[in-house]
Structure 1
């Protein structure tokens, strides 16, 4: 499973942050590994320099199954860590629902 981490030009995404998220994703998505070819994470600042609201950072995660349409999950929060964490929780739930249904149909 390939992992790609992208940040907008207003989000400070360094190599350490990318390594942290990659480790976290690989741990959480280990059981889906045989079914996923790629994970892409996009983190961007949605409100520019204002930083007034609690949801100024958006994380969008796209999981690409080998034989199927991409699945996405997103969330907004005050920090990249919070936004990615919440989006990851949503993605795991979506993968459980999607692959669980596929497994039930096969039986």
Structure 2
């Protein structure tokens, strides 16, 4: 499973943050590792550098073998909260799809 993290120019894409978020994602989706080929994360500050309520957006797209890509998004006050919320959503969505695949 390849994990790629993209940020807009208002969010710093520090190597430490990328490694931290990649490890969180890999750990959360570990049991679906054989089904997922690629994960793309897009982080964006909705209103630029100004502080705001729920202005950090995290979109996670998962590419599952033999299926169309699925995407979830989450907005929060901080990058950490946005990523963690999106991880919970993608874990649930991938779990549902993989569960349906295994039933057939």
TM-score (norm 1): 0.93
Residue in structure 1 matched with residue 31 of structure 2 by the alignment: 31
How far did 1:94 drift?
0.5
Q: Does 1:63 align with 2:70?
A: no
Which has the greater radius of gyration? Answer: 1
> Which residue pairs with 2:44 in the alignment?
44
5+ residue gaps, structure 1, are none
- Give the Cα separation in 2 of the matches to 1:48 and 1:21: 22
Runs of 4+ in 1 over 2 A off after TM superposition: none
The CA distance in 2 between the partners of 1:11 and 1:56, in whole Å, is 12
TM-score (norm 2): 0.95
**SS at 2:18 equivalent:** helix
Q: How does 1:7-18 map to 2 (within 5 A)?
A: 7-18=7-18
